[in-house]
Amino acid sequence: MPTISRDEVAHLARLARLAVTEEELDLFAGQLEVILTSVARVGEVAAADIPPTSHAVGLTDVFRADVPRPGLTQQQALSGAYATEDGRFRVPRILDES
């Protein structure tokens, strides 16, 4: 039976960029454990030689011609933005990548 600790929930919340509260850590730890225990039943199925299905429809090789299509204007692109500056999306300072 999978158990999930408060620390693990905190780790998941960090990965998922959710600034969860202390109360939520307790709540989610309990609920996730119940849900995981239930869904862990997929493990009962003997499926070692069964191929996984990622796509329900068996399509392959769907391509687009390399021909430009009109997109959005700068104004449309920025229309939903919280803040803009010089035609760009203005966001808080970014921490260094990697």
Partner 1 sequence: MTAALMDYDEVLERFEPVLGLEVHVELSTATKMFCGCANVFGTPPNTQVCPTCLGLPGALPVLNGVAVESAMRIGLALNCSIAPWCRFARKNYFYPDMPKNFQTSQYDEPIAVNGSLAVELSGGSLFTVEIERAHMEEDTGKSLHVGGSDGRIHGASHSLLDYNRAGVPLIEVVTKPIEGAEARAPEIARAYVTALRDLLRALNVSDVRMDQGSMRCDANVSLMPRGSSTFGTRTETKNVNSLRSVERAVRYEMCRQGAVLASGGRIVQETRHFDEATASTSAGRRKETSEDYRYFPEPDLVPIAPSDDWVARLRTTLPELPWQRRARAKTEWGLSDLELRDLVNAGALDLIAATVDAGAPAAEARSWWVSYLSQQANSRGVELADLPITPAQLARVIALVAEGALTNNLARQVVDGVLAKEGEPDEIVAAHGLAVVSDDAALTAAVEQALAAAPDVAEKIRGGKVAAAGAIVGAVMKATGGQANAQRVRELVLALVSA
Partner 2 sequence: MTRLTRCSAAELAARIHAQDITAVEVTRTHLDRIAAVDPALHAFLHLDGPAALAAAAAVDDGLRRGDPPASPLAGVPLALKDVFTTVDMPTTCGSRMLQGWWPPYDATVTRKLRAAGVVIVGKTNMDEFAMGSSTENSAYGPTRNPWDLDRVPGGSGGGSAAAVAAFEVPLAIGTDTGGSIRQPSAVTGTVGVKPTYGGVSRYGLVAFSSSLDQGGPVARTVLDAALLHEVIGGYDPLDSTSIDAPVPPVVQAARAGATGDLTGIRVGVVSQFRGDGYQPGVRRAFEVAVSRLRELGADIVEVSCPSFDHALPAYYLIAPSECSSNLARFDGMRYGLRVGDDGGRSAEEVMSLTREAGFGPEVKRRIMLGTYALSAGYYDAYYGQAQKVRTLIIRDFAAAFDQVDVLVSPTTPTTAFRIGERVDDPMAMYLSDLCTIPANLAGNAALSVPAGLSDDDGLPVGLQVMAPALADDRAYRVAAAYEAARDDADGGPLVQRVPDLEVAAR
Q: Which residues bind partner 1 (CB under 8 A)?
A: 11, 14-15, 17, 54-55, 57, 59-74, 77-78, 80, 85-98
Selected binder of partner 2 within 1, 22, 54, 86 (CB under 8 A): 54
Quick one: what does residue 82 bind among partner 2, partner 1, none, with the CB cut-off 5 to 8 Å set by partner type? partner 2
Q: Which residues contact 3 (CB under 8 A, 6 or more apart)?
A: 33
Cβ 52 to partner 2 shortest distance, Å: 3
C-alpha to C-alpha distances, 71 to 7, 62, 74, nearest whole angstrom: 44, 21, 10
